[in-house]
Structure 1
Amino acid sequence: MDFPFLFQTMKTLLAALPVTLGLFSLSVFFGGLLAILIVWMRVGGNPILSRFARGYIFVFRGSPLLIQMFLVFYGLGQFGFIRHSFVWPALREPFVCAVLSLALCTAGYTAEIFRFGLRAVPPREIEAARAIGMSGFLLVRRIIAPIAFRHALPAYSTEIVMMVKSTALASLVTVWEVTGVAQRLISQTYRTMEVFLCAAIIYLVLNFLILQAMALLEHYLSPHRRAAASLVPGGVPVSR
C-alpha cells in the first residue's frame, strides 16, 4: 500500500472538510428552524396551514434529494422574477443552492420527527404545569419542548447522520466538498480505492463524533434517568 499517497490524499480531502461542515451545519440549522415552523402549521389547528404542511412533508419526503437539488440549482434560474430579484446573486452560487436544497429536504423529515416527539409528551405533565399557572411560551419552554426534544432525539440523531452523508450530493452541483474533491483526485490519479477509502474514513470519524455528541446531549437531557440509576431497587440511594 502506498502510504505517502494515502497521506497526501487524506491531507487534500481534509482541506475540503470545512466546506462539508459548512453545508452540514447550515442545512441542519435552517432545516431545523423551518421544521419548527412546519410543525406549528401542522398542529396549530388552522386547516389551510395544516394541509400546506402535510403537502410540504409529502413532497420533500417523497421525492429524491438529488432531484430536489437539481431543481433548485438548474430550475430556479428559469424564472425571470427570480433572476431579477435581490436573491439571485445568492441563488446562483452552487453552495447556497446546495444548502437550500438540503435544508428544504431535511425540514420535511425533521418536522415529522418533532411532531412525534410532541405526541410523546404526557398530557398529565401539561395539566400539572397549567395547574400551577404555567401557560403560553413558558409552558412550551419549560415542559413541552424539553420533553418532546428528548423523545425525538434518537430519531433526530439518525437524520443528522443522514445529512452528513447527503452533503456528498453537493459535488454534483459543483460544490467542492470532500466527495467532490475525491472525485477530482480520482480523475487525475485513477486510484479509486485509495481515494474513496480516505473519504470514507473522514465520514466515519465525523459521524462517530456527531453520534457521541448526541449521546452526551441525550444524557444531559435525562437527569431523571441518572437519578433512577443511582437508586437500588428498594429506592435507597447507592452509597458513594
Structure 2
Amino acid sequence: MSLVQTDAIVLHIADYLESSRILRLATRDAGVQSVVARGARSSKKRFGSAVDLFAEGQAQIQLKPGRDLHTLQGFDVVASRATLALDLGRFTAASAIAECALRLLHDEAAPAVYGVLLDGFDQLAAAASGDTGSVTLGALWRLIGEVGFRPAVNHCAECHIPLEDEADARFQVAAGGALCAACARQVPGGRLLPAAARRALQRWLAGEAVMVETAAVRAHQRLLREFLDHHLPDNRPLKAYRVWEQGQW
C-alpha cells in the first residue's frame, strides 16, 4: 500500500454501511479514484465538509494495489463551493459536469484535465444566474477537448479543408465535427450549425467565456448531448445531464 497526497475534488457521494461514505474523487495526480471515508456519517471531526459535493482540497489516499476501492485517510478542504448548492439550476449544472467527468476520466494522472475541471466549477460558482447554461456548456466542451474528443469546428472533419468563418456547416457527430458542403452531401444526418453557433463552440473549446441566448443554449445542449452519446465508451444514459438539459427541477 502507498499513501498518496494530492489535490482532489468530490464528484459523487454514496452512503456506505452505517457510518461511512464512498466518494468518487477527481485528483490531480491519480485521476479518478473511489475511496471510502470511514466514519464520515457519524462524525464531522475527521473529514468535515470534505464529504460535500464539489468540495476541493488536499486528499490523503491509501492506495491498495489491485483494488477498486481505496481508503481516504484525510481531506483538508480549501474550497467548499457552497454556492453551487444554493440554486437548483446551478446544482444540476454542476452535477452534469461531475457526471461527464466521471465518464470521461480514468485512474491516471492528468493535471491539465484536472485544472480544466476545477476552472469549470469555479466559473459556474461565480456566474450570474442567467449565464449558467453558457458557462456549463463551455466547461463541458473544454473538458471534452482536453481528454481527446475535440470536435472539428474550423475545418472539415472529413477532408480537413478550412471552413469559412461566416459559413454555416453541417455538424455530424459520427464524423467528429463540422463538414464542408461537399462532404455533407456524402455523409447523411447531422445538424445544421449556424456560423454564430460554430464560432461560439470554437471559443468554448479554446477556453473563452461566451454567453449565448436561452434558445441557443437549448440547441447547444442538444448538440453536446448527441456528441457525448456517440463518443462515450458505454451506452449508459447521462441522467444528471438530461435533468440539466430539460430543466426538470
> What is the TM-score when the length of structure 2 is the normalising length?
0.24
Which structure features the higher share of helix residues?
1
Higher strand fraction (1 or 2): 2
Which structure ranks higher in relative contact order (CA pairs < 8 Å, sequence separation ≥ 6)? 1
Bigger CA radius of gyration: 1
TM-score, scaled to structure 1: 0.24
